[in-house]
Structure 1
Amino acid sequence: MSLKVKDFYQFLDTLAPLRIAEKKDSNGLQIGSFEAVVSGIVLAVNPSLSLFKEAVKRGYNLAITHHPMFYQPLYSLNWDEYPGNLISFAIENKLNLLSWHTPLDKVSFGVSEALARAFDFETEDFVLKEEEGFGYGKVVKLKNCVKLEALAKKVKETLKTWVMLVGDPDKEVEKIAICGGAGGFLKEYLKGKGINTLITSDVKYHQAFSALEEGFNFILIDHGISESFVLRVLKEKIENFLAEKKVNLGIYLHKEESPYKII
């Protein structure tokens, strides 16, 4: 038995339904054909040339990424520049690309839950629930009250990457929230819940400054790394899907370094 790209599309849609995607989001088939027979799968946060080359090297023809290839409008395609070089490489090598973005952010097992589990955090509910089983961010009740600096150090030690702190390092916290990816928009929702600390990514200067004035704390981490943990969950679910179908396909989890270098 063989599986086609459309079979994985349908499977992903059952896990994280496309109907819950943000209106301006880009999901599903980005490059390729629904009818292509899948020879193997590579998983990554981002579509990249290194990812596609890894797929070709392994003889795999399906890439599944969290971030989409096409998010902003493209007005021209130059094969010699990004993203044209990436698209042309995929086409020339008959690669297929599926991207699953905000649906994977919103499901209960998704980006924020997977990140929380990396720290052995027990989550309660969504920070912003849209409907039963779907929403953004997760509320976390820590086992013990800890200083903000100690919590930030735990995050750094677990992720083995840079961490930035917005807030009083000596402030004690017990109930916090976590949101993989850019979760700064959740600050006002958290304040309404009496929660003053959020682990997330991509908070801009003015938002950080106002948070400091308000007594709200951010522990900031790399966007891509924060979302990478859901790929492990996705890999396991795909492996179970393949086992049910009695299909043997290789699955490779592509590791990406942070684009930021702290010097």
Structure 2
Amino acid sequence: MTVKGQTVIQYMEQLAPKSVAEEGDKIGLQLGSLNKEITGVLVALDVTDDVVEEAIAKGCNLIIAHHAIIFRPIQQLQTDTPMGRLYEKLIKNDIAVYISHTNLDVTEGGMNDWMAEALGIENTASLKDIHTEQLSKLVVFVPKDHHQKVLDAILNAGAGWIGNYSHCSFNIEGVGTFVPREGSDPFVGKQGQMERAEEIRIETIVPFSIRSKVVQAMLKAHPYEEVAYDLYSMDLKGRSFGLGRVGRLKEPVTLEQFIETVKAGLKVDKVRVVGDLGKSIHKAAVLGGSGGKFLSSAIFRGADVLVTGDIDYHTAQDALMAGVALIDPGHNAEKIMKEKVAEWIKDKLSGSKNDTPVYASAVDTEPFQFR
């Protein structure tokens, strides 16, 4: 059984909601259409000519990538330029390209958690918070004999989380009144007559990112033709999402030993290093991509070492003077996302008894050579 493109992306956005991305980040569908049957999904770090050829060879008409192929507005599309030829090949082969970037970085169980886990960093916190979830209060009135069904639908859709507590709600019994008018089809009562119904008022917390999902689940489970419910904005804030992770190692190691952990965990042969190789590492920070500008955050959080890509000369000098070690495994170390995202989508599709193939790209998109 095949699957629609929109369904694949719904699963992807369960992992990495668009709402938690950095403002202005180039994410989402960048090329093609999702309104089609998906013959195969290819998960890649970058969309290069070799990656597109791989998608064609594997029969994939959807690429989910981490790095955008369109960074700025396109003024003209010339097919005799490298990027123009790439776009042309994608369009001619009906391959859609969907980007999940900083939303995949910051989400719980996403890029930076995968990198921290690979390096043995435990009890992690965000290196730099960039998004705090907005919360709403959902209030709905339900007939007594349908209370549990509606409550379960709301909470199973993701509402009711307060910190580490799930399925939180408050329920009050009362009496609702209404008069069904002409054209109505009331669940109880008769047209033109005042009806008094024993009802329960359900109150719970709903994160902004899943409001629509929760409301739809509630409406589907509710027996009334017209459902009485309210959504209130709240000053209370929900979870925070941030770039990078910082935490402690299970046991202290030297910087030289930790370098080998980085190489093995991120599957890189070479790294650039700043700092004394004999330095003891207790607390480590990691940030996928280009994270040099977060050196001050790593220092503030008490990290002994920051693992991130694209370190520039002056940031390296600043770290050296501050006594904080740096390990640069390259921007391409984010390739860890290929297998992880592919596994996530495969699991979701198999749960819905769908056999659409999903592949982690085998193409190495590292542009640098190390000699």
Question: Is contact 2:121-2:246 (8 Å) kept?
Answer: no
Q: Which amino acid aligns with 1:103?
A: N
Distance 1:55 1:258 in 2: 18
Is contact 2:2–2:355 with CA below 8 Å preserved after alignment? no
Runs of 4+ in structure 1 displaced over 6 angstroms? Answer: none
Corresponding residue of 2:25: 25
Q: How many residues align?
A: 262
Percent identity for Structure 1 against Structure 2? 31
Between stretches 194-203 and 82-91, larger displacement belongs to: 194-203
Cα drift, residue 72 of structure 1: 2.6
Equivalent runs, 1:26-175 vs 2, <5 Å: 26-129=26-129, 130-131=131-132, 132=239, 134-158=241-265, 159-175=267-283
In 1, are the aligned partners of 2:45 and 2:337 still within 8 Å (CA)? no
In 2, Cα distance between equivalents of 1:120 and 1:232: 18
Tell me: CA distance 1:172–1:183, structure 2 relative to 1, closer, same or farther (3 Å).
same
- 3-state SS of the aligned residue for 2:25? coil
Alpha-carbon distance between aligned partners in 2 of 1:82 and 1:123, rounded to the nearest angstrom: 44
Deviations 1:147-202 (A, max 9, x none): 11221133224424210101121211111111111122221122222223111111
Q: Which has the larger radius of gyration?
A: 2
**Is the CA contact 1:123–1:138 (under 8 Å) kept in the aligned structure 2?**
no
- Relative distance call for 1:167 and 1:196 in structure 2 (3 A) is same
The answer for the alignment partner of 2:309 in structure 1 is 201
User: Under a length normalisation based on structure 1, what TM-score does the superposition of the two structures give?
Assistant: 0.93
Match 1:230 to one of 325, 337, 343: 337
| Residues in 2 aligned to 1:244 and 1:148: alpha-carbon distance in whole angstroms | 43
- Of stretches 149-158 and 30-39 in structure 1, the one that deviates more from structure 2 is 149-158
Local SS of the residue matching 2:79: coil
Distance 1:82 1:166 in 2: 36
Give the aligned residue type for 1:186.
F
Whole-angstrom CA distance in 1 between matches of 2:50 and 2:317: 37
Paired letter, 1:171: K
* Alignment check: 8 A CA contact 2:2 2:356 kept: no
Residues in 1 aligned to 2:75 and 2:299: alpha-carbon distance in whole angstroms: 41
User: Is the Cα–Cα contact under 8 Å of residues 46 and 66 in structure 1 kept in the other structure?
Assistant: yes
One-letter code aligned to 2:291: G
Distance 1:54 1:218 in 2: 35
Secondary structure at 1:90 match in 2: helix
Q: Which runs of 5+ in 1 are unaligned?
A: none
RMSD of aligned C-alpha atoms?
A: 1.6
Relative to structure 2, which stretch is displaced further, 246-255 or 73-82? 73-82
Q: Corresponding residue for 2:358?
A: 251
Name 1:242's counterpart in structure 2. Answer: 349
Matched residues in 2 for 1:157 and 1:190: separation?
23
**1:6 counterpart = 2:114:** no
Cα shift at 1:133: 5.4
Larger % of strand: which? 2
Tell me the amino acid that sits aligned with residue 294 of structure 2.
L
Give the letter aligned to residue 177 of structure 1. A
SS in 2 for 1:83: helix
| Pair 1:182 & 2:290 matched | yes
Cα pair distance change 1:153/1:240, threshold 3 Å: closer
Following superposition, the deviation at residue 123 of structure 1 comes to 4.2
**SS across alignment from 1:42:** strand
Find the aligned partners of 2:245 and 2:35 in 1 and give their Cα distance.
37
Compare 67-76 and 106-115 and name the one that shifted more. 67-76
Q: What TM-score, normalized by structure 2, do the two folds share? A: 0.67
Q: Contact 2:3–2:356 at 8 Å: present in 1 too?
A: no
Unaligned runs of 5+ in 2: 133-238
2:82 alignment partner, SS class: coil
Q: Could you say what secondary structure the match of 1:122 adopts?
A: strand
Query: Structure 1 pair 241/229, CA: closer, same or farther in 2 (3 Å)?
Result: same
Moved more, 123-132 or 178-187: 123-132
Give the aligned residue type for 1:67.
H
Q: Is the 8 A contact 2:39 2:59 kept in 1?
A: yes
